[in-house]
A and B are shown apart, each in its own frame.
Chain A
């Protein structure tokens, strides 16, 4: 059943490409229908996993290239189910926030749905080759979405993103080929490769290669620079998807491929250099730097969207840090943070890129200051307050549970990670507060055009309200009752940890 999330999305993309031009309404409703049915399938699939305590189950297993041992193997465990759910949510919200796309609407949704299909595919693949295929399918539509429908420096941002992604996937491909050859060229199944007994010396170089390859897409410092420019250049729906699910592809790949197939790559080297004794320490250090660096840079931005772009780098640092704790609570927190950040970043980008920018036509904080948006767009102001609180990690929102778990896990592993990451959280409060204050609640003298007639801002439309409600409800629901996702994530993480990860 879950496999239909993939097929429906690709079929929707094909149908959109064949739609006649000049029928934008039809395209929109078709895209919404496809996204909604994907979400419904994801919810049903999630519910179906509940009775067996989210044990891994196979959806489809068919030989694809028998002579090379490649299977079309779709399966799901708790982690996959949570991320599929996130993809469904982000897809629906993205369609709602692209309701105002007027040029080449059918092409927009064709690329959009192809991207969604690829993302579903990655989260459900349990064959490394298949996972890689879906992973690459997700790259190309991103380029066109940004380059055609984007804004600020869109061609530059799009090409940068495409090349970064492709370099990352080239590293993954080298790791995949090498692992396939080293395991005797029999199978590319993730489970088979993990049990192939790859030599430790091999894992020692394959692990960092593949981890960085996926890490590039997860916004790992110092390979994060595509993320802010890409996010800013992208149209709203694409930035929502980029931050919401595409960066999660990278983090998911780090967990599912790099850490599960090459667990011994994280073993100690046998010597320490400046306190760093293994690849695990290296990547944890990069994650911590990413948290603090992203937050500090966000604090200094003058463009509203860049603030959110850099905050994504900071929040994804928590995901990578959680993964590197290698303990139950930290890794559970990492997966929950993937979900949480996906929802919250989607909401923030929607408010900044769609609700505010489409009305004010500026994202410069200095100009927004003079517009008194809290009075003129109260809906946007309150939505941003809620999203901002969630992003800061206030209790009651999903971000709180996730980041707390990551920090506890990090404390168990290495206390100083927690201390530095804690600084990042404090700065996080500061930049969110600053952006909120400047954009919405400033009492700077009003700009010259404020009281001119004919400059009334357009009213909030229903798709915007529905999208905000959907994402806001998701972060609140998980924040108030995290067990609903934790029940799915915890057994899967336990199985991963028991299956070779230390």
Chain B
């Protein structure tokens, strides 16, 4: 490995960093006297251009990546999940940047865009990472950006409070993660995911099994914090409520996509541990209810952990969301619930690309929908000064298009066909059941479906305010044309991708040649 190779493998990240610096230079250097709207527009457009440039540089060849010198062990993967997730991250980042255009929470738009781009670079890094050190660096790069973004509304006390909570929880979970990583390194003597899986399966690690369980619990706590699973979800509601709307949209979408891409990498490494060895063996997936415990290395214990987290998240997220009176907090708890559904897919992970593709499908479409939801919340908040449920009263009169977008997005989140949220759920649950036919998997899927029936209630609470209950104030809500265009684009995409699910599914499957 030389520096040229390193540079080539991280071209997209580099493009984002250069774009970030460019935004800073233009905003602080040339536009000091310009109006805020001009600066915001310029910064957002430059940021989108940076995303586009990075998108153009994402390596499309199926088997690229960056390896250790001398060995075949990957630092950064190319192709498959990594590419699809990176493209998703860049596209979603561009969408959240476009929501900035009419935002008024800060005067420092240049810095805001720069931090968003740098955090997105961290996201790109972890969605391709195959090594514990790269994973940790990428996660920290992403997280630090998110803490800053949360605190960006300097005039708002809620924003500062949310950032402080987020930062404290985040620091703690990073410590847990690092602690877990150190145990894994201690047991196996390597930081490469693939080598770790192989070593844990081997005979030596068998005697260190208790240590491995400790390590896995620590790692689950650290990563569970990132993807907002219960019981590591306490930061979510406050952060979603306090952060400026575009920042919340970024946290809810891009950070989720990147973190789940990382979890997919871990799952893939766990089931593909014998790849490249003579006599290909399929690692067995899922939980085995044998009377005698079967030691299957990383795989089994990890599955059990994820099953517990998934079940707890689905129940806690959906039930807590029922009691919310603030739409942002409602979205936060629904995010916990959605994370639970996705973890179910990760717990029953298939050898083929089926599960990975289904999870990517889910998280990408979920990210898209949430950005739209936060976009609508942001507009309503600016007009009414609140994101409480009652702020949405009579929205269909105040802005029919905004109400229609809200209808589409929330029904999609509730999983109503023919919108994309339904298809994502169906796809994911079908993948879970195809990995394991009966027993635990079926019970958990039944729980997930039952819980999504519960979720309809709280999504309807918002739609009821928008469409049914009488309006208190009937003045029209002004919507910036760019924001409206982005929101309409998202709503149309949610409908079209739901009506023609094969489009996105085929696109994702295209990244998994021969599987």
Chain A interface (Cβ < 8 Å from any Cβ of B): 17, 64-68, 107, 129, 132-133, 136-137, 139-140, 143-144, 147-148, 155, 159, 162-163, 166-167, 169-170, 173-174, 177-178, 180-182, 185
A-B contact pairs, 14 of them (CB 8 A): A64-B501, A67-B509, A136-B416, A159-B457, A159-B464, A170-B449, A170-B452, A173-B449, A174-B445, A177-B433, A177-B449, A178-B433, A180-B433, A181-B433
Q: How far is the CA of A386 from the CA of B262 in the complex (A)?
A: 69
> B63 within 8 Å of A by Cβ?
no
Q: Taking A65-B501, A166-B456, A170-B452 as contacts, is the C-beta distance between A136 and B434 under 8 angstroms? A: no
A65 partner residues in chain B, CB cutoff 8 A? 501-502, 505
What CA separation (Å) do A148 and B397 show in the bound complex?
13
B418 pairs with A133, CB closer than 8 A: yes
Q: Which residue of the partner chain A has the closest CB to B500?
A: A64
Report A-chain residues with C-beta under 8 Å of the C-beta of B60. none
Pick from B396, B442, B456, B509: contact of A163, CB under 8 Å? B456
A225 shortest CB reach to chain B, Å? 17
Once bound together, how far apart are the Cα atoms of A181 and B453, in whole Å? 21
Asked if B468 and A133 sit within 8 Å, CB to CB, the answer is: no
Partner of A170, one of B453, B457, B506: B453
Interface of A is mostly: helix
Residues in chain B near residue A129, CB distance under 8 A? 426
How many Å lie between the Cα of A301 and that of B509 in the bound state? 59
Decide if B493 is an interface residue (CB 8 Å cutoff): no
Q: Tell whether, in the assembled complex, residue B453 and residue A177 are in contact, meaning their CB atoms are under 8 Å apart.
A: no
The reply to whether B429 and A177 form a contact with Cβ atoms under 8 Å apart is: yes
Q: Which has the most chain B C-beta neighbours within 10 Å: A107, A148, A177?
A: A177
Specify which of A136, A143, A167, A174 is in contact with B460 (CB 8 Å cutoff).
Answer: A143
Residues in B neighbouring A144, C-beta threshold 8 A: 467-468
Q: Which of B456-515 contact A (CB under 8 A)?
A: 456-457, 460, 464, 467-468, 501-502, 505-506, 509
Residues of B within 8 A of A132 (CB): 417
**In the assembled complex, B168 has its CB within 8 A of some CB on chain A:** no
Closest chain B residue to A172, Cβ basis:
B449
B417 and A167 form a contact (CB under 8 A) = no
Closest Cβ–Cβ distance, residue B495 to chain A (whole Å): 11
- Fill in one digit per residue for B422-443: 1 if any A CB lies within 8 Å of its CB, else 0: 1000110110011001000010
CA distance A451 to B452 in the complex (A): 56
Judged by a CB distance under 8 angstroms, whether B446 is at the interface is yes
Q: Are the C-beta atoms of B505 and A67 separated by less than 8 Å?
A: yes
Rounded to whole Å, the gap between the CB of A92 and the closest CB of chain B is: 26
A64, A140, A163, A185: the one within 8 Å of B416 (CB): A140
B440 to chain A, nearest CB (A): 13
Are A180 and B418 touching (Cβ within 8 A)?
no
Chain B hits for A66, CB < 8 A:
502
Query: Is B505 a contact of A177 with CB atoms below 8 Å?
Result: no
A177 & B430 in contact (Cβ 8 Å cutoff)? yes
Other 9 A-B pairs with CB < 8 A, given A67-B505, A147-B464: A64-B502, A67-B509, A133-B417, A148-B468, A159-B460, A162-B456, A163-B457, A178-B433, A181-B437
Chain A residues with CB below 8 A from B450, complex form: 167, 170, 174
Cβ-defined contact, A136 with B417, below 8 A: yes
B422 touching A136 by the CB < 8 A rule? yes
| B411 interface hit (Cβ, 8 Å) | yes
CA–CA, A69 and B192, complex, Å: 38
Point out the residues of chain A lying under 8 angstroms from B446, CB to CB.
Answer: 174
Q: Is there an interface contact between A140 and B449, defined as CB atoms closer than 8 Å?
A: no
List the B residue with the shortest CB-CB distance to A129. B426
- Beyond A140-B411, A147-B468, whether A177 also contacts B418 by CB under 8 A is no
Please name all residues of chain B whose beta carbon is closer than 8 Å to the beta carbon of A170 when the two chains form the complex: 449-450, 452-453
- The reply to whether A180 and B430 contact each other, CB–CB distance below 8 Å, is yes
Distance, CA A180 to CA B456, complexed state (A):
24
Chain B residues close to A by CB (< 8 Å): 396, 404, 411, 416-418, 422, 426-427, 429-430, 433-434, 437, 442, 445-446, 449-450, 452-453, 456-457, 460, 464, 467-468, 501-502, 505-506, 509
Question: What's the nearest-Cβ distance from chain A to residue B300, in Å?
Answer: 22
Q: Which 10 A-B pairs have the closest CB atoms?
A: A181-B433, A133-B417, A170-B453, A147-B468, A170-B449, A166-B453, A65-B502, A185-B434, A174-B446, A166-B456
Interface of B is mostly: helix
| B452 contact set on A, CB distance < 8 A | 170
**Contact yes or no, A155 B468, CB < 8 A:** yes
CA distance A43 to B9 in the complex (A): 65
Q: How far is the CB of A217 from the nearest CB of chain B, in Å?
A: 14
CA distance A162 to B506 in the complex (A): 34
* CA gap between A178 and B449 in the complex, in Å: 12
Q: Which residue of A lies closest to B357 (CB)?
A: A67
> Which B residue sits closest to A159, measured CB to CB?
B460
Closest B residue by C-beta to A182: B437
How distant is the Cα of A133 from the Cα of B418 in the complex, in angstroms? 6
Contact assessment for A163 and B453 in the assembled complex, using a CB-CB cutoff below 8 Å: yes
Chain B: CB-nearest residue to A144 = B467
Q: Smallest CB–CB gap between A418 and chain B, Å?
A: 37
Kindly list chain A residues whose C-beta atoms are within 8 Å of the C-beta of B456.
162-163, 166
Q: How far is the CB of A31 from chain B (nearest CB, A)?
A: 19
Is A137 touching B417 in the complex (CB atoms < 8 A)? yes
Using Cβ atoms and an 8 Å threshold, which residues of chain B touch A137? Answer: 416-418
Give Cα A166–Cα B446 distance, bound, in whole angstroms: 14
State A181–B439 Cα separation when bound (angstroms): 13
A166 to B509, CA, bound (A): 31
Shortest A459–chain B CB gap in Å is 32
Bound CA–CA A170/B452 (angstroms): 8
CB contacts (< 8 Å) of A182 on chain B: these are: 437
By the criterion CB–CB under 8 Å, are B430 and A68 in contact? yes
Distance between Cα atoms of A174 and B445 in the complex (Å): 7
Bound-state Cα–Cα, A355 to B502, Å: 49
**Residue in chain A with minimal CB distance to B411:** A140
Given A64-B502, A137-B418: A174 and B467 interface contact (C-beta under 8 Å): no
CB < 8 Å neighbour of B464 from A17, A140, A155: A155
Given contacts A136-B417, A163-B457, A178-B442, contact A185 B467 (CB under 8 A): no
Nearest CB in chain B to that of A168: its residue: B453
Q: How distant is B511 from chain A, measured CB to nearest CB, in Å?
A: 14
In the complex the two chains form, what is the Cα distance from A75 to B468 in whole Å?
37
CB distance from A4 to the nearest CB of B (A): 17
* B457 surroundings in chain A (CB, below 8 A): 159, 163
Q: Which residues of B contact A162 (CB under 8 A)?
A: 456, 460
Q: CA separation between A411 and B430, bound complex, in Å?
A: 43
Most chain A beta-carbon contacts within 10 A, residue among B427, B442, B453: B453
Measured between beta carbons, the chain A residues less than 8 angstroms from B468 are 144, 147-148, 155
Q: How far is the CB of A420 from chain B (nearest CB, A)?
A: 33
* Chain B residues within 8 Å of A143, by CB: 460
Residue of A nearest to B436 (CB): A181
Q: Which residues of A contact B442 (CB under 8 A)?
A: 178
- The one of A68, A136, A148, A166 in contact with B467, judged by C-beta atoms closer than 8 angstroms, is A148
Measured between beta carbons, the chain B residues less than 8 angstroms from A67 are 502, 505-506, 509
Contact partners of A17 in chain B: CB under 8 A: 404
CB B26 to nearest CB in A, in angstroms, measures 41
A107 to B445, CA, bound (A): 36
Residues of the A chain whose Cβ atoms lie less than 8 Å from the Cβ of B434: 181, 185
The minimal Cβ–Cβ distance linking A152 to chain B, given in whole angstroms, is: 15
Closest to A139 in B: B416
Which residue of chain A lies nearest to B433 when distances are taken between CB atoms in the complex? Answer: A181
CA distance A67 to B456 in the complex (A): 29
A180→B445 CA distance, assembly (Å): 13
Given the complex of chains A and B, what is the CA–CA distance between A159 and B450 in angstroms? 17
**Smallest CB gap from A150: residue in B:** B468
Residues of B within 8 A of A163 (CB): 453, 456-457
Question: Considering the chains assembled together, what is the distance between the CA atoms of A223 and B301 in angstroms?
Answer: 41
Q: Cβ of A139: which chain B residues have Cβ within 8 Å of it?
A: 416
A64 neighbours in B (Cβ, 8 Å): 501-502
Compute how far the CA of A140 lies from the CA of B426 in the bound complex, rounded to whole angstroms. 19
- Chain A residues whose CB sits within 8 angstroms of the CB of B460 once the complex forms: 143, 159, 162
Bound Cα distance from A105 to B502, whole angstroms:
36
| Beta-carbon contact of A177 and B426 below 8 Å | yes
Q: Is the CB of A181 within 8 A of B430?
A: yes
